Every structure is written in structure tokens, then in C-alpha cells.
């Protein structure tokens, strides 16, 4: 069995060249991409089981001796395919800035403090219902060099594996009501307003842990729908 | 309209999350520990076939090396089997996953150690020449770009259904070149933009 991957779905993606985000100007293909059939090579993909994950890999507040500074949050949701069916056993990786808006990466020289109790990397595998959950702190906004006084909205980077190499997704999760949305060329590289809204988590009062942490829900919908036999399966 | 989650750039700081033990030196003091989920060495002790080394430089539209790039590869094993539960084909009886990830270093160089893949079926059941699917992520790329790597010492290239769809004058950008004087080492440079731009696929 395999899935159909309608190419029209990719209309929700940013264009490769999005000049408002300056780094795309020299890093986007200039020749038309070639349309070729999806073969077994594209319609298959790696699967990572729970053996790839260690305890506390999904709890970014427990990876060091002490607790990180910042606003503790639960980030959770489901990984789904285009028919909104759950994607079980999907590897979900994330990375983010600390509460001050600083990444531990040595290339980040933004003058905000590092937190010795926070790396900012996490990973987990979805359960049978496609559900994942992380505990972390809310990342801060930070400046970047794209244009004068450029600031990124608060965000968490996500990397997700689905049913095949075509459903591979790297994206960013944003927080509701961010005042920086109108000014961010990366967020606005997604042309459709409804599609942009799908990158924004929702405040989840129901799953907020009283006296402990706020919660945000972020469902991730990957390419691929309509299970059908794959022609090449018999060979 | 479909309701998939849009892609966003991997940004400049992915290395400590996705390739923490890789070529990109994000933590010169070595004070943070975070293990790799995915390695750039795909070889497992039980995998049969020819062990190969693939290396190349990723360059932008100015020809400058891209030093904050992540390359992922997906391939069949030496018998042409994918370690994917999505197919009814017999799964490999080894631990070989066929999936790898490498960051580029300061010189824009990525590298993989793997097994030369076997032939897999293509459209209409016709065999494809041995190849590796390559996916590129980088700061300045709002979405991943896909290409393919073929081997210059494979006679099957001439009848490969995908390669034959590529205009002859650009086909060479998909061919990894065996390095003289070295055993089973291949060079595969990637040009993201420009005159000698690599062929990328809209898939």
C-alpha cells in the first residue's frame, strides 16, 4: 500500500524564491523544477521507532541539572495525513531559542543570555493515534539581520517524518496573537492566509496544568492521502 | 484546497537539534550533549554490498559554499529493497535503514558513508538505475528541494526512466563521479542556483 501525494497540496507552501526573505535570493533554484513520476524511491521512507528516543527527550526542562528559566509550556498535538488520519510512529524533532530568544548554536551572537539549564532540542515519536507531547519553555523573540530592525516572532522549529520521503516536513510553530506576524517575511512567505494560520498553535486551556504550565496545541498535517495499492509492489 | 501544514525554513541553527554530532561545529566547547537520531554513516555491520563514500560541496547562486545546509538521503539496500513498511516488497533482513543526514561544514562540504544501492522498480515496473534520493534543507530555503544521485560507473543509467526525462545537457548534474585513486569514493557537488544548476524535481 502507498498513498497518493497530490501536487496541488504544495500550493500551501512558500515559493522557493521569496525576496522579502533575502537569503532565498541566492539559495532558490532559478531553473524550473522537473516534473517526474513518484516512484518507489519517493513513495517509501524511513521509520524510527521508540528505540530512537530516550527518556526526557521530549521534556526540555529536564535535560540539565536545574530547571530552565522562562514560562513553562506544554506543546502537543497530532500528526495527521491529508485525509486527517493519524500518522503513528512518526519521528518528531524540535529545536528552539531559550526564553530570552537565544540559541545555544555558536553562530547565534545575539546579546541575550544563554541558559545553562536549557539546550532547546527535543524529540519524540507519535503514538498509535498520531499524538505527540513536549514540555519546554516559551521561546523568546529575537532580532535577525534580514532588514533594519527585523525580529522573528516567537517560534519553535519542527522536523517531522510521515509515511514517505515525500511527506517529510520541516516547519515552524508560532504562538497565537503574535504582534510580529505582519513584519516577518518568513511567516508571510506562505501566500494563503488560511495556510499561515495552520502554522499557529492554539492556546489550549483544557490541557493547561493548573499551578504548573500553560498548554498549546499544534496539529501537523503532512502530504499524502487515499491509501491505494502501489503498482510496483508486486515486482 | 488541501490543508497541509506549510513548510518553513530549517534556519541557521538546526545543527544542535538535528545533527548535533555532525560536521557543523555548533558547540566548540562541547558543553552540551545531545545524541544524533540520524547518522551520516548508514553502514550497519550486517549490511551486504559495496561500501561507498559520497562527498560534495553545496554552493549558492554566487558559487559560494553553503555552510549551514542539511542533506538527507534515502536509498534502497544493495538488493534494491527499501527499509520501509509502506511496501509489500520483502524488507531487508538487516539493520540497514537507508536513511542518512549530514550537515555541511564551514567549507560547505557534506559526506556520507553508505552501501551502493541496488536497482529498484520504476514507472511501469521498468528497472531504475541505482540511485539515491537527496533532499536539501538550508537557511534561505523555505522548503526542501529534491534531487537524485546516480553513479557514473553504472551502465544502467542509459535506460533509467527518470534520468531520460532530464534534458541531456543537464543530466550530468545528477551523476556522482568515482574518484581516481580512491576505492569506492564518489564526488557529488550540488549547485543550488546558477549556470550549472543541479536538476531539482517537482515531486
Strands B175-178 and B145-151: parallel
Mean pLDDT across B85-110: 83
CATH number at residue B81: 2.60.130.10
pLDDT exceeds 50 at position A234:
no
The pLDDT of residue B87 is 60
pLDDT digits (tens, 9 = 90+) for A112-125: 999 999 999 999 99
Assess if CATH 2.60.130.10 describes domain A2-234. yes
pTM above threshold 0.80: yes
Give the best residue of B14, B17, B130 to mutate against chain A (max A CB count within 10 A).
B17
Mean pLDDT across B6-21: 96
The pLDDT of residue B86 is 61
Residues A139 and B135: their CA atoms lie apart, in Å, by 28
Biggest CA–CA distance in chain B, Å, is 54
The pLDDT of residue A2 is 65
Within 39-58 of B, beta carbons closer than 8 Å to A belong to none
Enter the C-alpha cell of residue A87: 500518522
Question: What's the complex ipTM?
Answer: 0.95
Q: Which domain range does residue B187 map to?
A: 15-191
CB–CB of A86/A161 below 8 Å? Answer: no
The pLDDT of residue B4 is 97
Nearest chain A residue to B17 by CA distance is A121
- 8 Å CB contact of B12 and A107: yes
Within 119-148 of A, beta carbons closer than 8 Å to B belong to 119-123
Query: What HEC string does chain A produce?
Result: CEEECCHHHHHHCCCCCCCCCCCHHHHCCCCCCEECCCCHHHHCCCCCCHHHCCCCCCECCCCCCCCCCCCEEEEEEEEECCCCCECCCCEEEEECCCCCCCCCCCCCCCCCCCCCCCCCEEEEECCCCCEEEEEEECCCCEEECCCCCEEECCEEEEEECCCCCCCCEEEEEECCCCCCHHHCCCHHHCCCHHHHHCCECEECHHHCECCCEEEEECCEECCCEEEECCHHHHC
Name the minimum distance, in Å, from the CA of B185 to any CA of chain A. 23
pLDDT: which is higher, B183 or B56: B56
**Residue ranges covered by each domain of chain A:** 2-234
Q: What's the distance, CA B77 to chain centroid?
A: 14
Residue B67 lies in a domain: yes
Looking up cell 495525513 gives A81
CB–CB of B131/B117 below 8 Å? Answer: yes
CB–CB of A224/A4 below 8 Å? Answer: yes
Nearest chain A residue to B88 by CA distance is A233
At residue A229 the predicted structure's pLDDT band, cuts being 50, 70 and 90, is low
pLDDT: which is higher, A55 or B7: B7
Residue B201 lies in a domain: no
pLDDT exceeds 90 at position A147:
yes
Count of domains in chain B?
1
> For B11, which of A93, A157, A194 is closest by C-beta distance?
A157
Residue ranges in chain B assigned as alpha helix (H): 15-18, 168-171
Looking up cell 549547485 gives B191
Residue B135 lies in a domain: yes
Nearest chain A residue to B34 by CA distance is A121
pLDDT digits (tens, 9 = 90+) for A79-122: 999 999 999 999 999 999 999 999 999 999 999 999 999 999 99
Amino acid at each position: 500500500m502507498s498513498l497518493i501525494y497530490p501536487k496541488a497540496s504544495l500550493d500551501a507552501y512558500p515559493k522557493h524564491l521569496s525576496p522579502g526573505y533575502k537569503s532565498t535570493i541566492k539559495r532558490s533554484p532559478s531553473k524550473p523544477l522537473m516534473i517526474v513520476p513518484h516512484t518507489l524511491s519517493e513513495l517509501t521512507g524511513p521509520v524510527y521507532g521508540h528505540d530512537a528516543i530516550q527518556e526526557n527527550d521530549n521534556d526540555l526542562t529536564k535535560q540539565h541539572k536545574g530547571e530552565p528559566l522562562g514560562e513553562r509550556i506544554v506543546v502537543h498535538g497530532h500528526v495527521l495525513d491529508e485525509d486527517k488520519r493519524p500518522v503513528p510512529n512518526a519521528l518528531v524533532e524540535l529545536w528552539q531559542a531559550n526564553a530570552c530568544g537565544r540559541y545555544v548554536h555558536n553562530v547565534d551572537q545575539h546579546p541575550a543570555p544563554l541558559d545553562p539549564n536549557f539546550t532547546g532540542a527535543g524529540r519524540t515519536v507519535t503514538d498509535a493515534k498520531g499524538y505527540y507531547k513536549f514540555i519546554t519553555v516559551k521561546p523568546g523573540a529575537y532580532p535577525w539581520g534580514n532588514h533594519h530592525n527585523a525580529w522573528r516572532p516567537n517560534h519553535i522549529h519542527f522536523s517531522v517524518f510521515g509515511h514517505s520521503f515525500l511527506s517529510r516536513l520541516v516547519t515552524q510553530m508560532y504562538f497565537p496573537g503574535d504582534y510580529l506576524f505582519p513584519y516577518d517575511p518568513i511567516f508571510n512567505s506562505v501566500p494563503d492566509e488560511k495556510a499561515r494560520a495552520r502554522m499557529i498553535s492554539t492556546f489550549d486551556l483544557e490541557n493547561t496544568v493548573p499551578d504548573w504550565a500553560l498548554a498549546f496545541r499544534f496539529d501537523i498535517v503532512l502530504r499524502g492521502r487515499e491509501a491505494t495499492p502501489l503498482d510496483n509492489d508486486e515486482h | 484546497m488541501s490543508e497541509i501544514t506549510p513548510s518553513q525554513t530549517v534556519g541557521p541553527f538546526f545543527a544542535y537539534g538535528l545533527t548535533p554530532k555532525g560536521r557543523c561545529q555548533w558547540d566548540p566547547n562541547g558543553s552540551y550533549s545531545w545524541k544524533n537520531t540520524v547518522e551520516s554513516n548508514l553502514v550497519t555491520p550486517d549490511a551486504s554490498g559495496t561500501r561507498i563514500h559520497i562527498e560534495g560541496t553545496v554552493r549558492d547562486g554566487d558559487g559560494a559554499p553553503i555552510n549551514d545546509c542539511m542533506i538527507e538521503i534515502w536509498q534502497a539496500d544493495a538488493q534494491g529493497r527499501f527499509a520501509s513498511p509502506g511496501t509489500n516488497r520483502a524488507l531487508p533482513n538487516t539493520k540497514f535503514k537507508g536513511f542518512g543526514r549530514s550537515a555541511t561544514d564551514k567549507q560547505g562540504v557534506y559526506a556520507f558513508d553508505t552501501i551502493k544501492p541496488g536497482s529498484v522498480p520504476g514507472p511501469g515496473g521498468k528497472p531504475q538505475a541505482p540511485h539515491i534520493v537527496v533532499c536539501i534543507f538550508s537557511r534561505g530555503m523555505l522548503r526542501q528541494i529534491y534531487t537524485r544521485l546516480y553513479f557514473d560507473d553504472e551502465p544502467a543509467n542509459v535506460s533509467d526512466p527518470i534520468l531520460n526525462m532530464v534534458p541531456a545537457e543537464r543530466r550530468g548534474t545528477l551523476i556522482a563521479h568515482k574518484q581516481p585513486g580512491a576505492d569506492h569514493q564518489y564526488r557529488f557537488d550540488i549547485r543550488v542556483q546558477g549556470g550549472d544548476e543541479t536538476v531539482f524535481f517537482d515531486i
